[in-house]
Structure 1
Amino acid sequence: MNSFTVEVPGGALEVHRWPAREPGAPVVLVVHGITANGLSWGRVAEHLDGRVTLLAPDLRGRAGSAAVSGSAGIARHADDLIAVLDHVGADRVVVAGHSMGAFVACVAAVRHPSRVRSLVLVDGGVGFPVPDGVDVDAVLAAVLGPAMARLSMTFPDVEAYHAFWRDHPAFAGQWSAAVAAYVEHDLTGEPPALRSSCSLDAVRVDGTAVIRDPETLTAVRRLPVPAVLLWASRGLSNEPQGLYDAGRLAAAGLDPERVTAFEVPDTNHYSILIGDTGARAVAARILAT
């Protein structure tokens, strides 16, 4: 894996690249979740095993792209993805997104249909809007739990940050070198006051879009390309109810000719990406598109 930067309005995105073993292999662009970073795709990269060139940007306001100025927002992230494709000279690619990244992938496909061949949506992309007047911070705190709480915390050393994530109920039994690299990439500052690099303002802007913005919420119903949705059977804190289930997806009224949904059993919202079972399923779906 190597990293490079791409100029975008407001600064430079950091992009992580797992190169293909063979020249001419497909390029796949992957998009992380709301408080994550591009290295969250490390386990998927292991299972892809060099059969594609995998590009994973840190979205603005996170990790290596934390210093990019200007507002975040789903449409802004979607346009940043196209800047990444332009930088590497990629034309029309598979785009995969996890959680909020799935919404970014959908919006990118709608805004830039000539650049997206197909989508792999990983436990995200289908929204359920909340009523006006509901406090966005309260919704984000309730949904994201520890992932949101850590943004206002400090940690004495890297091991303490590892321990924070190892104790997260959704990370239990999922720890690996790739996961350690992912969570360490989030850290900024110096001991004994290490903290997450993820911008709370960016999370608020992006979270508001996911629960209220019509362009973001309707993108999955306006897709110009086929998509596969892989959904986890359990939730963000490994609770039995996940973000999606068969009933919720049926109620969402997705076009079955455009979006095909599959459950990935024995996974939660995080392990569907960072765990072996989930990452293997995601990689297989990327290779099949």
Structure 2
Amino acid sequence: MRILVSADMEGATGVTWPADVEPGTEQWQRCRAMFTGDVNAAVAGLFAGGASEVLVNEAHATMRNLLLERLDERASMITGRHKDLSMVEGIQHGDCDGVVFLGYHCGAGDDGVLAHTYLPNAVTGVWLDGEPASEGRLNAAVAAEYGVPVILVTGDDRACGDAASYAPFARTVTVKEHVSRYAARCLPPARTAGDIRDGARAAMVLAGRLDPEEPRTHAVEVEFDAAHLAQAADVVPGVTRTGVLRVRYTSPSAYEMIRCFKAVTTLAARAVEEDYG
């Protein structure tokens, strides 16, 4: 059984503040260790539950946050940018029996610790086929197209609640309870490690390839907090500006959907100005 771990950072143990996840800050250096600890706990649990191989895909920001030198030696890791499938790189090769969404968070416009979708601010809402979409929902659509079940989601309590809407059979592990976007009631790493390890071991009963979903058309809407960001995203072929702050596009498959989403958010991010956004 080969399992992919898509590892994001905002939903990791102890993380509550932007500086906790911004590369180069003192807090980021501290939180990298706890993030790596969460990953190692998941790896240990997956192997205890019967996994024969675990591939970790770095999925946060620069995608160079996990400490390779501290990674469980039984795992391997994809680190760095750029990747065809971004947060779920590695799922597309037909040999993945399950995926773990580790350190995930709520989407833009939702109420959760460091809630956002791809961009830390700028994006105020994303809808996939008419439903509010977190990164988890977007990535789960890609996983389904490759016949890969989401077996475990970890993050704050709101992220785990969100997971029930796109991966209802997945196990969830809550590592902190939401207080506000920048505050949480946190459990110490010694406790969350045990919870994640136990959750990952139990989640292995859900592993096993499914029939891949037939590629189908997906419609995505993205709302920004400033008009010029929608204007910037409108440059992407196939993307249409539907309002002052909104763009929309359709894709023939989840694979193309997530790739276009990456293009839209990358262009928008480059259009953000320091003082006026």
Q: TM-score, normalised by structure 1?
A: 0.36
The structure where helix makes up a greater share of residues is 1
The structure where strand makes up a greater share of residues is 2
